[in-house]
Amino acid sequence: MKNMHKLFLGCLAAGTMAFANAASAAENNVIFKIHNIVPVKDADGLVTACEIGATFYNRTQVEISNLSLDLVWKDDVVSDAIAQEERAQRQELNNRRRRNGTAAYSSTDIVLNLKLPPLKPLQQVTLKSKVNTERCFLLLNEMDVNVSNCGTYATVEGADCLSLMRFVSPRTPEYYSDFKPISYSEQMASETDKTNLQRQELNTLYQEAVSSLSELGKKMTETRPSKGD
């Protein structure tokens, strides 16, 4: 009986250690989230930029300095609209007027460059930044994360700079629970009202953008010469 008890305790200890090692490996990264997205409008009431907050939490066991990254949001809607405009322009026989349309966007992607301050182990910091785009609604979506400079983390033995950063979406519980040592319900209660208000305004901007693209498509159809011309 004693041998069985020792065997059980040994298996339990081994399982606990394996779980702890797996949890430690899973948390060997820097997680971050985007929040507090506020559209910036000019004197005419047009959105010209978006102010955002970005919170980073260093879950590694080392201090990380000189870390910089590029966040890239893809805009498939604008990309498709530009492609349609270009096809229409190539087919147009009498192109006397230059049309800007959606192609007036300097880029179909939205890019934000961030340089982080030194992050000590288990330290959390929040940065305020501004993105020069009127498409604030896209900033709630997933993005490509490119670590342009891994900083001092590159000198850590076994470090993997490609997997260092991990974005946490507002659609996951981690967004509300992993960044502060309070319960999920407490954090969610404080964030939900702000998130709902932001989503309402961003959804309105998105609908306006879709409506503008629809009107543009109608105008392109109306101005396109018929086959008999």
The answer as to whether 130 is a domain residue is yes
The answer as to whether 201 is a domain residue is yes
- 15: confidence class by pLDDT, cuts 50, 70, 90: very low
Q: How many domains does the chain have?
A: 1
Q: What is the mean pLDDT of residues 100-116?
A: 71
The answer as to whether 15 is a domain residue is no
pLDDT digits (tens, 9 = 90+) for 44-81: 999 999 999 999 999 999 999 999 999 999 886 544 44
Query: Which residue intervals of the chain are DSSP H helices?
Result: 2-26, 76-91, 174-177, 184-223
pTM value is 0.60
pLDDT digits (tens, 9 = 90+) for 139-189: 988 999 999 999 999 988 888 888 899 999 999 999 988 886 544 454 455
The answer as to whether 20 is a domain residue is no
What SS3 state is found at 167?
Answer: strand
pLDDT at residue 91 in the model: 54
The answer as to whether 178 is a domain residue is yes
The answer as to whether 35 is a domain residue is yes
Phi-psi region of 36 (alpha: psi -120 to 50; beta: other; left: phi over 0): left
Least Cα distance to 127 among 183, 184, 53 occurs for 53
The answer as to whether 4 is a domain residue is no
The answer as to whether 5 is a domain residue is no
Write out the residue range of the structural domain in which residue 197 sits.
28-223
Overall size of the chain counted in residues: 229
